[in-house]
């Protein structure tokens, strides 16, 4: 069964963000926002995916992701997904032998910048880059589904 083991961090020094290149535009929406399982549709550049995740621990989830036709993803995002949708640009940064994904949120969530790193195991040692700030893996406010949920309730 595929697993996602991920840790999330805020960025304390954003000065390097202006140097990032080759960002990928992402639009994502949620069909289900259950606390222990989510169903998400996402466009990522010119591709589209449906993803199903179920929570095992705060760091580890089962994750199933399948590519779907782009036009169908847009239809699902516009007509089925809960609102608001999430708009962000994702950059990949390779540092300290790890690939960091930097998400810069736009529109309703503008100003939020999160760094995520996927790991082989929960106890993997991480040499944090100098620009990494507070870890927010255990703070559900920084999970995309939770951000949408809070806006849905207002």
Residue ranges in the chain whose pLDDT is less than 70: 1, 152-154
Token pair of 77 as six digits: 């995002």
* Burial (CB count <10 Å: 0-12, 13-18, 19+), residue 150: exposed
Q: Which of 30, 70, 87, 143 is catalytic?
A: 30
- Contacts of 98-103 with CB under 8 Å at 24 or more apart are 98/126, 100/129, 102/11, 102/17, 102/20, 103/26
Stated as kind and residue range, the H or E segment containing 104 is strand 98-105
Give residue 152's pLDDT: 63
- CA-based nearest residue to 35, from 12, 9, 61, 2: 61
| pTM of the predicted structure, to 2 decimals | 0.91
Note the Cα 100 to chain centre separation in Å: 12
Q: Specify whether 30 is catalytic.
A: yes
30-58 pLDDT, tens digit per residue, is: 998 888 899 999 999 999 999 999 987 77
User: 3-152 — its CATH code?
Assistant: 2.40.320.10
Is residue 135 within 8 A of residue 7, CB to CB? The reply is yes
Token pair of 50 as six digits: 């449906």
Domains of the chain, residue spans? 3-152
């Amino acid at each position: 069964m595929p697993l996602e083991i991920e840790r999330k961090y805020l960025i304390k020094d954003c000065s390097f963000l202006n140097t990032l290149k080759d960002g990928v535009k992402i639009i994502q929406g949620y069909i289900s926002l259950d606390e222990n399982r989510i169903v998400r549709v996402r466009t990522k550049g010119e591709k589209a995916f449906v993803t199903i995740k179920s929570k095992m621990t705060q760091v580890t989830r089962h994750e199933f992701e399948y590519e779907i036709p782009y036009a169908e993803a847009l239809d699902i995002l516009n007509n089925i997904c809960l609102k608001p949708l999430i708009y962000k640009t994702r950059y990949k940064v390779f540092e300290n032998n790890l690939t960091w994904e930097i998400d810069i949120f736009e529109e309703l969530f503008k100003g939020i910048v999160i760094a995520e790193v996927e790991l082989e195991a929960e106890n993997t040692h991480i040499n944090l880059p100098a620009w990494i700030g507070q870890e927010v893996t255990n703070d559900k406010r920084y999970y995309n589904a939770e951000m949408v949920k809070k806006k849905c309730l207002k």
